Amino acid sequence: MTGNDRPIVVGGGAAGLAACLTIESQGHAPILLEASDRLGGRLRTERMADGTPVDVGFQVLLTAYPELHRWVDLPALDPVAFVPGARIRKHGRWKTLADPRRLPGSLLATLTSGVGTWGDRIRILRLVREACSGSAESVQDGLTTGSTAEFLQTRGFTNDFIRDFLGPFFSGIFLDARLSPPPAQFLYTLRMFASGAVVRPAAGIEALVRQLAGRLERTEVRLGTRVVAVSAGRVELECGEMVKGSGVISSVERRSEVEWNSCFNAVFETKAPRFGQPIIGLLPDAACVTNVHFMEDIQGEEGRGKLNVTALPGSKGVGDVLAMERRVRHDLEAAGLQPGAMLWHTIIHKALPQLDAVRSSLEILRNEAGVYLAGDHVAAPSLDAALRSGRLAAESWMTRP
Ligand SMILES: Cc1cc2nc3c(=O)[nH]c(=O)nc-3n(C[C@H](O)[C@H](O)[C@H](O)COP(=O)(O)OP(=O)(O)OC[C@H]3O[C@@H](n4cnc5c(N)ncnc54)[C@H](O)[C@@H]3O)c2cc1C
């Protein structure tokens, strides 16, 4: 197949979709090659045996993501907003820590929670102010040396506050128990949390994919098409076919290019009382569980009696499902969450890329073969970064000399 002004986009995740929509907006007709049988990549919602939708890896949309507003009609996704804060399981009770700036009613509970000291609360407010000042790019391109864990220590947070709140909260976001991402990634994430809402589409995260894919008009989508080699003007498919185009944008990581964080996500039956509002629960004393939520709080009746759990494999690795289930069950029992049958589970080996630095991707990323690069693994581990990288790669292709 040949094409004179038809760029090839490899990978139909968020980055590939944003690239195709950008290219279409200038009147071009890209060819999108996707290895699997569906678009969306890591944005995926499955149905449990009883039909309840469950996201393959618990994920949320932060409405402050600048790129989201370019592409997504949020109200059309019927978003359910999370309470800005968390319930923290300490000494057999749930304590509430919420952002009193946005939830004034939570002030008393937060102040009397016993999580952290007064100094910790002042420090976190200062840090929020710091993260929210200047441009989003300056925050992302800022502090890249050291880890978030080291950064929090240097900012004077007590070990208790890190162990009880910052650690479990951000390890669930980074999918990294050691909080190794650079401070810039932490500050950017904090900025996004502090300046917008945290939502989940009512029908699950894949609703976003349906919305984006539904807007493609000129793109030739080829599913079940695995690319094995790319160069500036053509790609080779697994089946041996060559596809030529007027440029190649690849949102697919080259083998061994980056290391990935993995996670285990499962749904358990539970008889434990739910929170009664959409909020995340943190288990600071747990060995592998980072966060939980009662699905009924977010999905209503269909989520009744179901606890959604995210766990990190740690140094032992994900291993087999039985071993992971045992460890998770132990954590849930210790927290009084009364786990019954495990109704659904998934292991995601390549959940989030480990990056030494996050890039606002303002520079053009092209590899030595002249291929434009996109995907969260070249920018930052988030949906926002994936969408932005796809757009910027497409814009770079369109404005090429
Ligand atoms: C458990 C989990 C929780 C997350 N939580 C959040 C969150 O709360 N908030 C947030 O902003 N982000 C979150 N993310 C991150 C977000 O989902 C990703 O950053 C984003 O979806 C990445 O999009 P992408 O297009 O870069 O990559 P992908 O989605 O991985 O897309 C790549 C596509 O390329 C295809 N492909 C691979 N190899 C080939 C090949 N050889 N030929 C053709 N096609 C190929 C794949 O099938 C895939 O469809 C989370 C991710 C996970 C897994």
pLDDT (tens digit, 9 = 90+) per residue, 199-222? 999 999 999 999 999 999 999 999
Give the residue from 127, 207, 178, 158 showing the smallest Cα distance to 290. Answer: 178
32 and 161: one domain? no
Over residues 134-162, the pLDDT tens digits come to 887 777 777 667 899 999 999 999 999 99
Q: Average pLDDT in the 60-78 region? A: 95
Pairing of strands 85-90, 280-282: parallel
In this structure, is residue 315 part of a structural domain?
Answer: no
Separation between Cα atoms, residue 298 and residue 246, nearest integer Å: 45
Q: Is 328 part of any domain?
A: no
Give 243 Cα–ligand 1 centroid separation in angstroms: 24
**Among the residues of 156-293, which ranges form H helices?**
159-161, 167-174, 183-194, 206-214
pLDDT tens by residue, 246-280: 999 999 987 667 889 999 999 999 999 999 999 99
**Cα–Cα distance for residue pair 370/366, rounded to 1 Å:** 6
Closest CA to 279 of 134, 14, 86: 86
350 C-alpha vs ligand 1 centroid, how far in Å? 9
Q: Higher-confidence residue: 96 or 61?
A: 61
Whether residue 187 sits in one domain with residue 253: no
Q: The sheet that has 234-237: what strands, in order across it?
A: 227-230, 234-237, 242-244
Mean pLDDT for the chain overall: 90
Alpha helix (H) residue ranges in 40-134: 66-71, 107-111, 118-132
Amino acid at 236: E
198 lines ligand 1 (CB under 6 A): no
Residues 249, 360, single domain; the answer is yes
Asked whether residue 161 falls in the same domain as residue 15, the answer is no
Q: What is the pTM of this model?
A: 0.94
Q: Residue with the nearest Cα to atom 39 of ligand 1?
A: 35
Q: Is residue 321 part of a domain?
A: no
From the CA of 381, how far away is ligand 1's center (Å)? 9
Same domain, 187 and 234: no
Q: Which of 196, 222, 240 is the last residue in one of the domains? A: 196
Q: Is the CB of 376 under 6 A from ligand 1?
A: yes
Q: Between β-strands 339-354 and 306-311, what pairing exists: parallel, antiparallel or unpaired?
A: unpaired
CATH number at residue 215: 3.50.50.60
Q: Is 243 in the pocket of ligand 1 (CB under 6 A)?
A: no
Q: How many domains does the chain have?
A: 2
Q: Is residue 132 part of a domain?
A: yes
Q: Say how many Å lie between the CA of residue 337 and the centre of ligand 1.
A: 31
Residues 114-126, mean pLDDT to the nearest whole number: 84
Whole-number Å distance between alpha carbons of 63 and 40: 19
* Among 128, 23, 26, 58, CA closest to 312: 58
Instruction: Examine the domain organization and report whether 144 and 125 are in the same domain.
Output: yes
Whether pLDDT at 3 is above 60: no
Q: Which two tokens stand for residue 96?
A: 């509430």
- Give the number of the atom of ligand 1 that is nearest the alpha carbon of residue 225: 43
Give the pLDDT of residue 358.
62
Does residue 16 sit in the same domain as residue 161?
A: no
Measured in angstroms, how far is the CA atom of residue 96 from the centroid of ligand 1? 32
Tell me the mean pLDDT in the region 307-321. Answer: 83
Q: Is 187 in the pocket of ligand 1 (CB under 6 A)?
A: no
Structural domain of residue 30, as residue ranges? 8-43+205-258+355-398
Residues 248 and 388 in one domain: yes
Candidates 24, 29, 33, 5; CA nearest to 250 is: 33
Report which DSSP code applies to 335. T
Q: Is the pLDDT score of 189 beyond 80?
A: yes
Residue 140 in any domain: the answer is yes
φ, ψ for residue 62, nearest 5 deg: -100, 120
**Which of 80, 383, 388, 392 has the most ligand 1 atoms within 8 A of CB, as the residue to mutate?**
383
Distance from the alpha carbon of residue 206 to the mean position of ligand 1, in angstroms: 12
191 and 133 in one domain? yes
